[in-house]
């Protein structure tokens, strides 16, 4: 019996070892992990809260005007974009400094144009010179013949003198013809140049000539656009045209986040609906004295919509979550955030999705709930405190 005990022990140990599972190998392990929500939470003291001037408002649901955000394109006002053309045929002088994008003022001299005769006049002058040359050759031949006859005592002195006078007259005629031809080829004086002036103050859009170019009548020299006022072309769905109020303005916003401006409707023909899109173009005018908008620039346009027909008074409204514009913050990548009070002297940064702006209110589509308290005054200071830019 004593010999069996070691064998039983060995079998028992083998059985126990077979039931144990190997411990999983972990590549890395984080001690004391921090929740993601805690990364965007700022806790400050009562003194700091007072110093930063923190103020909050409760997010609420408001009835806001129904708007449609569409894309628009900036255009020069028709009649305020002009092309400067050459009035006559000639050679341009003094326009080396005119370049696209340059600002010019009304009445500024762009070029000096040295006129040239028309092509038919050049042909006439060339023919006149050739004819005068031929007349001189004939006169010289007659003089030579008269001198030979006088030498042979077959002619008279008077005939020789008349031939000499004819030669002198023909020489003078050829000299005059050559002078007229040289003047027609561009050798006119500088005082005869015609000034080409800018008809309005604006920006040079395109330059088609260079200094020294020979131009023909009505040839385009430069294109100018006045930018103190510009139009916005807005393609709207045909069904929305009936929901536009008479005289209803729109909000025009640059795509780079610049300050919005009001656009006034202008009397312009409605173009036919575009096949495949069902849209028609309407136009609005905006003040642009600082030339912040340029022709061809794409912009966002907020159009306020009314009822389903032109007779409906007032604009249609819809319920939406709104926050003051002062509560909205942007990070370096364009992300949109607000700070929400989650506890006394504790503020959590939350990402939001902005739908549109209505006056000084921002319509939020998601990210926060009604009743939450968002920071208005001091939001930027909290942002700096979180990222180390404030003291």
Domains and CATH numbers, the chain: 41-66+318-387 (2.40.420.20), 81-115+193-226 (2.40.50.100), 119-185 (1.10.287)
What is the spatial distance between Cα 266 and Cα 80, in angstroms, rounded to a whole number? Answer: 15
pLDDT, residue 39, reads 61
**Number of Cα atoms under 13 Å in the Cβ half of residue 55:** 5
pTM over the 0.85 mark: no
Other C-beta atoms lying within 10 Å of the C-beta of residue 244:
18
* Residue with the two structure tokens 């005629």: 173
Tokens, residue 201: 């103050």
Give Cβ neighbours of residue 322 (< 8 Å, ≥ 6 apart). Answer: 59, 60, 61, 62, 64, 358, 361, 362, 363, 364
Query: H or E segment at 245?
Result: none
Asked if 234 and 281 touch (Cβ cutoff 8 Å), the reply is yes
pLDDT, residue 34, reads 47
pLDDT, residue 224, reads 87
pLDDT, residue 345, reads 85
φ and ψ at 61, to 5 degrees? -95, 120
pLDDT in tens, 118-128: 555 566 677 77
Q: What are the DSSP calls for 342-366, one per residue?
A: EETTEEEEEE-EEEEEETTEEEEEE
Asked if 126 and 181 touch (Cβ cutoff 8 Å), the reply is yes
Give Cβ neighbours of residue 378 (< 8 Å, ≥ 6 apart). Answer: 52, 53, 54, 55
**CA distances to 147, 381, 386 from 329, in Å:** 107, 11, 13
Give Cβ neighbours of residue 250 (< 8 Å, ≥ 6 apart). Answer: 232, 234, 262, 263, 284, 301, 302, 303, 304
What is the spatial distance between Cα 114 and Cα 91, in angstroms, rounded to a whole number? Answer: 5
What is the spatial distance between Cα 200 and Cα 294, in angstroms, rounded to a whole number? Answer: 17
pLDDT, residue 73, reads 93
pLDDT, residue 284, reads 92
pLDDT, residue 184, reads 63
pLDDT, residue 360, reads 76
Tell me which residues of the chain have a pLDDT lower than 50: 1-13, 26, 28, 30, 34, 36, 187-191, 309-313, 390-391
Q: Where are the alpha helices (DSSP H) in the chain?
A: 4-19, 36-39, 46-52, 119-151, 157-184, 238-241, 379-386
- Rounded to the nearest 10°, the torsion over CA 255, 257, 259, 262 is 30
Query: H or E segment at 382?
Result: helix 379-386
Pairing of strands 279-287, 298-304: unpaired
Other C-beta atoms lying within 10 Å of the C-beta of residue 218:
10
3-state secondary structure of 78: coil
Q: Where are the alpha helices (DSSP H) in 216-267?
A: 238-241
**Number of Cα atoms under 13 Å in the Cβ half of residue 115:** 11
How many residues in total does the chain contain? 391
Query: H or E segment at 233?
Result: strand 229-237
């Amino acid at each position: 019996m004593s010999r069996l005990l070691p064998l039983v022990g060995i079998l028992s140990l083998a059985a126990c070892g077979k039931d144990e599972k190997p411990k999983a190998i972990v590549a890395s392990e984080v001690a004391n992990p921090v929740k993601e929500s805690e990364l965007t939470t700022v806790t400050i003291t009562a003194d700091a809260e007072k110093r930063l001037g923190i103020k909050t408002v409760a997010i609420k649901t408001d009835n806001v005007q129904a708007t449609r955000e569409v894309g628009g394109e900036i255009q020069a006002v028709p009649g305020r974009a002009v092309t400067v053309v050459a009035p006559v045929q000639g050679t341009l002088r003094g326009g080396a400094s005119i370049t696209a994008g340059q600002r010019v003022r009304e009445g500024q001299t762009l070029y000096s144009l040295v006129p040239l005769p028309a092509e038919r006049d050049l042909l006439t002058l060339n023919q006149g010179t050739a004819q005068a040359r031929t007349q001189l050759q004939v006169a010289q031949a007659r003089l030579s013949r008269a001198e030979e006859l006088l030498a042979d005592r077959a002619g008279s002195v008077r005939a020789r003198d008349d031939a000499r006078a004819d030669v002198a007259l023909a020489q003078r005629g050829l000299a005059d013809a050559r002078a007229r031809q040289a003047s027609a080829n561009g050798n006119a004086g500088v005082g005869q140049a015609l000034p080409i002036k800018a008809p309005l103050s604006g920006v040079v859009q395109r330059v088609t000539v260079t200094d020294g170019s020979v131009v023909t009548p009505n040839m385009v020299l430069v294109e100018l656009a006045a930018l103190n006022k510009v139009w916005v072309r807005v393609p709207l769905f045909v069904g929305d045209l009936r929901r536009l109020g008479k005289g209803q303005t729109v909000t025009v916003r640059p795509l780079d986040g610049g300050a919005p401006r009001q656009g006034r409707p202008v009397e312009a023909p409605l173009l036919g609906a575009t096949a495949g899109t069902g849209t028609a173009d309407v136009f609005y005018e905006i003040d642009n004295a600082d030339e912040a908008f340029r022709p061809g620039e794409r912009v966002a346009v907020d159009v306020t919509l009314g009822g389903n027909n032109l007779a409906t008074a007032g604009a249609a409204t819809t319920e939406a979550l709104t926050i003051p514009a002062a509560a909205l913050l942007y990070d370096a990548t364009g992300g949109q955030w607000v700070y929400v009070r989650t506890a006394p002297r504790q503020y959590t940064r939350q990402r939001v999705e902005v739908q549109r702006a209505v006056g000084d209110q921002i319509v939020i589509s998601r990210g926060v709930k009604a009743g939450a308290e968002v920071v208005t005054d001091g939001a930027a200071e909290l942002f700096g405190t979180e990222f180390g830019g404030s003291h």
